[in-house]
Amino acid sequence: MLLLTGVLMGLLCGVLMSRVYGYRVAPSTSGAPEKIELVFLFTSEKEAWINAIKPLFEKHFREKYGIELELKLYVTGSHETVNLILSGSVKPDVWSPASSIWVPYLEEKWKKMHGNDIVGEWYPIVLSPLALAGWGDLVARYSVKGFADLYMLAEAGVDFKYGHTDPMLSNSGLMALLLQFCEAVNKTPDQLTIDDIRNPKTLEIVKTIESKAVFYGKSTGFFGEWAVENGPQAISFFAVYENVVISTAAKARAKWGTSLVAVYPRIGVLYSDHPLVMMDAEWVDSWKKLAARELLLFLLQPEVQELAQRFGFRPVNPLVHLNESIFNENNGVLSEIKARALKPPRGDVLEAILEVWVEVRNPGV
């Protein structure tokens, strides 16, 4: 976090300098396009925030450069964004998976296919920890403090329903699966080995947890909406980003008399840092690169970071204070997360987890 703060402070100083000494592109400049279409491929949990800032950014760009800009949005899960880029189905100018763990993953896959790099500069734009969400009365009754407790409940014959997104499509599903393996062997992600992942006892523990799964999907936000609509009888616990709990806690309490709450796993918390990646691809010309960098600087502005908090995201701009009227226990979350922040696993460990998914998933879902 200290390194992240330093990087962002340097970037923000650059923003300030560009505002003071920056240049303005006139519409009559030779070679300037009349309109720029900036293709933005990003993940579903950010959709409401990005939809809110879309017209603001387009207006900002037009007023600053005198050029019309359309931010063309494509929304799906993190792993699916990688698949779309690799297949050529979407050619983004800017890309934002839920976590930066996907950046080297795409780079490695692309390089194997094409022999060149595709990822340019990237910076985190908001933070969101993965939480194990559950109904407050169930969390209290069974003293649930992490994924290992779900295994204990399953072994004890407790009837409950579990869910997370498909790790082959979505970042939150992969993070949930990763934490299940971590708690099964009592190791942090950076300590995990391929032998840990393939250990029969470990696989049996994770498979037992997954046996309680009733749904896999590609949208993290779906679980919150589904829980509010159908109640505790439909789903008991589910792995989602913190912002999903914030957006649904009050609705759940009003409809079912008990709130949804976020459980921050005892082993530690994995943060999604939602990087904005400026693509270094043949289809990204100099004007699109200008627009991409302008989008990054716009998303880091204090007022835009403040807006992100209304959608349940923690700001990365160190000049923006956490809004405790949003991040509080009434909204099912904590303003201060005391669980340690976890480091990501090695790439080969991540690959191993994806490989064994077919062995541990609930085949009936």
- Per-residue pLDDT tens for 80-120? 899 999 999 999 999 999 998 889 889 989 999 999 999 99
Instruction: Tell whether the model's pLDDT for residue 329 goes beyond 80.
Output: yes
Contact 89, 76 (CB under 8 A): no
What span, in angstroms and rounded, lies between the C-alpha atoms of 114 and 183? 38
Whether 122 and 226 share a structural domain? no
Q: Which one-letter DSSP state was computed for residue 140?
A: H
Whether 280 and 346 share a structural domain? no
With respect to residue 325, please indicate whether it lies within any of the assigned structural domains: no
- Percent of the chain at pLDDT > 90 equals 81
Whether 349 and 208 share a structural domain? yes
Cα dihedral sign, 13-17-19-22: negative
Confidence at residue 10, expressed as pLDDT on a 0 to 100 scale: 54
With respect to residue 252, please indicate whether it lies within any of the assigned structural domains: yes
Instruction: Tell whether the model's pLDDT for residue 53 goes beyond 50.
Output: yes
Structure confidence by residue, pLDDT tens digits, 149-198: 999 999 999 999 999 999 998 889 999 999 999 999 999 999 999 999 99
**Mean pLDDT for the stretch of residues 351-357:** 95
With respect to residue 328, please indicate whether it lies within any of the assigned structural domains: no
**Strand, coil or helix: 233:** coil
Whether 198 and 344 share a structural domain? yes
Number of domains the chain contains? 2
Q: List CB contacts of 324: < 8 A, sequence separation 6 or more.
A: 335
Whether 79 and 179 share a structural domain? no
With respect to residue 324, please indicate whether it lies within any of the assigned structural domains: no
What span, in angstroms and rounded, lies between the C-alpha atoms of 45 and 202? 30
Strands 35-43 and 68-76 turn out to be: parallel
Cβ–Cβ contacts within 10 Å for residue 318, how many? 13
Instruction: Tell whether the model's pLDDT for residue 128 goes beyond 80.
Output: yes
With respect to residue 323, please indicate whether it lies within any of the assigned structural domains: no
Whether 196 and 278 share a structural domain? no
**In this structure, what CATH number is given to the domain that contains residue 285?**
3.40.190.10
79-100 core/surface letters (b: 16 or more CB in 10 A; e: else): bbbbbbbeeeebebbbbbbbbb
Confidence at residue 202, expressed as pLDDT on a 0 to 100 scale: 98
Whether 106 and 203 share a structural domain? no
The full DSSP string for 2-51 is HHHHHHHHHHHHHHHHHHHH-----TTSTT--SEEEEEEEEEGGGHHHHH
Instruction: Tell whether the model's pLDDT for residue 318 goes beyond 50.
Output: yes
Q: What is the pTM of this model?
A: 0.83
What span, in angstroms and rounded, lies between the C-alpha atoms of 245 and 132? 10
Confidence at residue 320, expressed as pLDDT on a 0 to 100 scale: 97
**Mean pLDDT for the stretch of residues 312-333:** 96
Q: Residue 85 sits in which domain range?
A: 2-127+272-315
**Mean pLDDT for the stretch of residues 338-352:** 88
Confidence of residue 24 (pLDDT cuts 50, 70, 90): very low
**Mean pLDDT for the stretch of residues 51-69:** 97
Name the more confident of 344 and 133. Answer: 133
Confidence at residue 30, expressed as pLDDT on a 0 to 100 scale: 57
**Mean pLDDT for the stretch of residues 325-343:** 94
Whether 248 and 340 share a structural domain? yes
With respect to residue 281, please indicate whether it lies within any of the assigned structural domains: yes
Q: List CB contacts of 154: < 8 A, sequence separation 6 or more.
A: 160, 208, 209, 211, 212
Look over the chain and give the mean of its residue pLDDT values, rounded to a whole number.
91
Confidence of residue 44 (pLDDT cuts 50, 70, 90): confident
Instruction: Tell whether the model's pLDDT for residue 21 goes beyond 60.
Output: no
Whether 260 and 293 share a structural domain? no
